[in-house]
Structures are given as structure tokens and as C-alpha cells.
Amino acid sequence: MDYDREFLTGTVGVLILSLLSERAMYGYEMLQEAERRSAKQFQMKEGTLYPALHQMERAGFLKAVWREGESGRARKYYSLTAKGRRHAESKRKQWDSISAAMRAILGTSNG
């Protein structure tokens, strides 16, 4: 499904923080995990992930290290910093609150 950009803006950040709250991941792994968990409902243009990752890393929410996997391929793994964990918690609460409010409003307006 194609989503309007206005809905996706800000969503990518929350997505990244949420996934990395569980464990360190590399970029492509985050994309695959988001697709898998949403049963392919959420498929973003893959390139949009990297500016978001770089912004969050430079803002101090993420840190990155290169690691070699079993296949010998090197990948850049991102993880949350302490500041990032606090930010993730704050964003999650805001998201929960906003989505509950929107569901209530949209549910009411649909009758």
C-alpha cells in the first residue's frame, strides 16, 4: 500500500527507535523486520531509512559499529544510546497516546 508522505514523516524515526529497543540491527535488517511484522503492509522506499539513521546517530540517539557476520560480509549495526533509550520511551508513549486518540476520533466519525 502506498502511504501519503505526511503520514510517513516522523513514522520512520519511531520505527527505528522501536526496533532498536529490542536489539542492535543493520539497516536492511530493520527494513525486513518492519515488513515481516506488518505482514508486508508497511513497505517504505528503502533509501529513506539511511538519512533517518544518520540524523539520529548525529543527534546522539544511536551509535553504530561495523561487524562482520558469519558470511564474512561487514554490516553497520546501529544500537540505542542511553539518550536514545529515553527518547524511544518518550516517542512510544506519544505514539500510543496519539494513535489511541485518532482511533477514538475516526471510530466516532465513522458512526
Partner 1 sequence: MDERAPVERLIAEIVRDARLGSERERDELRRELESHFADASSSSGAGPSAIERFGNPAAVSSDLRAVHRATGGIVRALRIASAVAISAIVALSLQLGANLQVPSHGSAVRIGGGFLYSAIFSGLIIVVLVLAWELDIEALCTRLEREPIRLVLTVLIMAMAMMLVHALHDTSLAPAVATRASAVDVAIWTSTVAILVKTDRLFVAAFRRRAR
Contacts with partner 1, residue ranges (CB under 8 A): 26-29, 32, 45-48, 50-51, 54-55, 58-60, 66, 73-76, 81-83, 86
Q: Which is closer to partner 1, CB of 98 or CB of 104?
A: 98
- The C-alpha cell of 105 is what? 476520533
Candidates 13, 77, 66; CA nearest to 44 is 13
- Min CB(58)–partner 1 separation in Å: 4
- Min CB(59)–partner 1 separation in Å: 5
Candidates 93, 82, 65, 105; CA nearest to 21 is 82
- Min CB(107)–partner 1 separation in Å: 30
What is the end-to-end Cα distance of the chain in Å, rounded?
Answer: 25
